[in-house]
Chain A
Amino acid sequence: MAVRNESTAPVGIPPVAVAPSARVRRGRYRGMGGGSGGSIGAYVVVFVVCFFCLFPLYWMFENSLRNDVGAQTSITIIPREAHWDNYQRMWTALEYPFHVFLINSFVVAGMVTIGVTLSCAIVAYGFARFRFPGRDVLFYFIIATMMIPFAIMMIPSYALFINVFHWGNGGVIHLPGWTGVGTYQNAFQFLPQIVPAFFGSPVFIFLLRQFIRSIPYDLDEAAKVDGAGPLRILWTVIMPAIRPALTAVVVLNFIGKWNDFLGPLIFLQDPHNWTIELALNGFVGRYTVTFFNLQMAASLMSMLPIVVIYFFASKQIIEGVTLSGVKG
């Protein structure tokens, strides 16, 4: 418990969200009453829950291979026939080929991730390593702004980006033919989501500050003696030392933006700019007959990158979530 420092707890957020020693304590799981091991009943419950977590994903895959009326006409668990060409059909079912939407999602999520990670690292470093008047008050202020709901920001943000910054349309970008993406007529529509990300985000500032504070100050001192300035120290000492936390920030941001529906819906009006979530939404109301098989194939494509990332970084994601209470 030595790491816990009450002054680090944000305003109004109970210490559980801080759980600073979660890292230290990992791997020590106590029984409810200090008993040893779980009962058979516990395993049964856990397996049932695992089934409920994974089955919808299987169901999606199974349905993506059915024929066009498969979902409406038969009740089967194992696919009778596999229509792999559903994926091909899905790929070209909308105005633009599906990889355009995938690339758009990668661009938006990637840029947001770069922006948030860099800016939050710098701001967190400022709070964790420099003494200045009003530091704690300013920090609590940042945390308190998390309470501002997006509901009241949605319309004025739109007014700001469309009326003041004129990011509603324009910005032509020609891409070489081999990319298969074609021309972006309205690339500016991406900016309302990307630019604000470069100015930091409260939760991740909080998360990174916690981590930077846990690094011994001797490391900074040693670098300072060698003549390194603050930026050098940030880059060569702090950033490598908080790599696990940075991974969490990167992955959580990427997943969060990849999954975002409302932001793209408001700003990415041009179908060529659609992210994969919007493309999926486009599938739903597109035909009078619902092609559940194509919907499921497209859903699977939208989940695949997330599952792959999760496969490699689940440890950092879970630690980051436990520490900050943030959702991907």
Chain B
Amino acid sequence: MAVSAKSAKRSRASERRKEALWGYGFISIWFIGFAIFTAVPLAMSVYISFTSWSPIAGPFWEAKRVGFANYNTFLHDHRYWHSIINTIYFSFGSVLVVNLVSIPLAMILNQRLRGINLYRTIFYLPAIMPAVASVLIFRLIFLPGTGLVSWILSRFHLQCDVTQITCSPIDFLNDPKITMLVVIIISAWGVGQTLLIYLAGLQGIEASYYEASSLDGANSWQQFRKITLPLLTPAIFFNVVVGLIGAFQEFAKLVIYAGGSQATGGPADSLLTTFWYLYIVGFDFSRMGLASAMAFGLFALIMIVTLLNFWGQKKWVFYQEERR
């Protein structure tokens, strides 16, 4: 008996080893890819940021090493800081607009409406539309003079009558003071993404909370303030973090709104975000070393904002599970 128990134990141990080997084998696919396509490039990125590599001149390992010159250059480049301000303007602006629109919408959708699935499908449709084509549509809608927005504004006497030859309508496409604002407004068209997360968050709130509070005589507003909003904070947090990281790296929308030329920054650089700027420096000016250094500057900004978010969440994000 003892022998067979021992052998059973041994076979179980070998079975466990085999299972572990299979497991490692399967997951190694991702780790091999990570090593080649993420870890190695990351290391290269650090190296390139200390060189004056230009892809025209040859491979990056032949480029001259220049120490901290690239970092010095971009930190003293006022166009870079201008792009940082644009980046902050665009990302906070678009995340704010999208979230302010989608929370009330999600709450309305969360009521027992007829045809909820249809509405949800329609609301999400713009979010999967290609950025290039959707921005092209909005360029047309915002066309000064004969565009839809221009026409509506003049109809409501918010600007001069566009049918008059003397009228010079608001130039949504070229006025550097408003172009970024328009792109932020356009971003709200893709609200469906954020909306779905809020909808899932709302559906995760136990109905019993509402039942109990109505028994205590709470009205809808009190229920919203004391139940819905606190329990929705994890969803708000998620949407803000993910939204900001995405918005910091928005490219297509801004480039296309600027008229499709990657080499400028829109009218008077009004749409030039840092991500776009480092694209220009890298691919149009062929100064890859400088662009790599700039990328680390942007990375630092993203990390600071994300860490601030995570640090701040302790103060306002409320997790249902912790209190059970």
A residues with CB within 8 A of B:
4, 6, 12-17, 19, 21-22, 25, 28-39, 42-43, 45-46, 49-50, 52-54, 56-57, 59-60, 63, 71-75, 119, 122-123, 125-127, 129-133, 135, 138, 142, 145, 147-160, 162-164, 196, 198-200, 205, 230, 255, 258-259, 261-262, 265-266, 276-277, 280-281, 283-285, 292, 295-296, 298-300, 302-303, 306-307, 310, 314-315, 317-318, 321-322, 325, 327-328
Contacts and interface: CB of A to CB of B under 8 A. Distances in A.
Given A75-B146, A152-B299, A325-B242, A281 B130 contact: no
Interface string B99-137: 000000101111111001101111111111111111011
A318 B48 contact: no
Contacts of A163: 55, 59-61
Nearest 9 A/B pairs, CB to CB = A199-B33, A126-B26, A130-B23, A284-B260, A156-B41, A132-B20, A299-B133, A261-B252, A14-B234
Interface in B41-71: 41-42, 44-45, 48, 53, 55, 59-61
Is chain B's interface secondary structure helix, strand, loop, or mixed overall? helix
Query: How extensive is the interface on chain B, given as a class?
Result: 35 or more
Contacts of A33: 210, 213-214, 218-220, 223
B72 to A, nearest CB: 18
Contact of A280 (B136, B288, B292): B136
Given A130-B20, A255-B128, A317-B128, 8 more contacts: A31-B110, A123-B30, A150-B249, A158-B55, A199-B30, A199-B37, A321-B196, A328-B127
A31 B292 contact: no
* Of A149, A151, A205, A302, most B-chain CB atoms within 10 Å: A151
Contacts of A154: 278-279, 282, 295
B33 A261 contact: no
* Of A127, A154, A155, A276, most B-chain CB atoms within 10 Å: A155
Given A17-B238, A151-B298, A156-B41, A302 B130 contact: yes
A22 B200 contact: yes
Nearest to B237: A14
A25 B60 contact: no
A56 B141 contact: yes
A320 to B, nearest CB: 10
A261 B129 CA distance: 12
A14 B288 CA distance: 37
A155 B27 CA distance: 27
Given A38-B111, A46-B108, A123-B29, A59 B140 contact: yes
A284 B111 contact: no
A59 B136 contact: no
B298 A149 contact: yes
B32 interface: yes
Nearest to B242: A325
Interface in B141-174: 141, 143, 145-146, 148, 151, 162
A16 B234 CA distance: 6
A19 B26 contact: no
Contact of A155 (B19, B48, B143, B246): B48
A151 B256 contact: no
Given A6-B321, A30-B203, A325-B197, A156 B140 contact: no
A149 B38 contact: no
B275 interface: yes
Interface of B: 16, 19-27, 29-34, 36-38, 40-42, 44-45, 48, 53, 55, 59-61, 105, 107-113, 116-117, 119-134, 136-138, 140-141, 143, 145-146, 148, 151, 162, 189, 192-193, 196-197, 199-201, 203-205, 207, 210-211, 213-214, 218-220, 223-224, 228, 234-235, 237-238, 242, 245-246, 248-249, 251-252, 255-256, 259-262, 274-275, 278-279, 282-283, 288, 291-292, 295-296, 298-299, 302, 306, 310, 313, 317, 319, 321
A155 B25 contact: no
Contact of B295 (A29, A54, A152): A152
Contacts of B248: 149, 151
A303 B133 contact: yes
Given A17-B238, A126-B26, A199-B32, A59 B259 contact: no
Given A50-B122, A149-B298, A16 B204 contact: yes
Nearest to B232: A16
Contact of A53 (B125, B237, B306): B125
B136 A284 contact: yes
Given A29-B116, A123-B29, A156-B42, A262 B60 contact: no
Contact of B113 (A42, A74, A127): A42
B299 A296 contact: no
Contacts of B24: 126, 132
A162 to B, nearest CB: 7
A276 B132 CA distance: 10
Contact of A261 (B53, B123, B131, B218): B131
Nearest to A56: B137
B33 A155 contact: no
Given A33-B210, A259-B128, A310-B125, A60 B33 contact: no
B112 A38 contact: yes
A37 to B, nearest CB: 5
A32 B104 CA distance: 11
A130 B23 CA distance: 5
Given A36-B112, A131-B20, A163-B59, A259 B146 contact: no
A318 B129 CA distance: 14
B125 A15 contact: no
Contact of A322 (B29, B146, B196, B211): B196
16 contacts: A16-B238, A21-B204, A29-B116, A30-B203, A50-B119, A127-B26, A151-B299, A153-B42, A155-B48, A200-B29, A261-B130, A280-B136, A296-B136, A310-B128, A322-B196, A325-B242
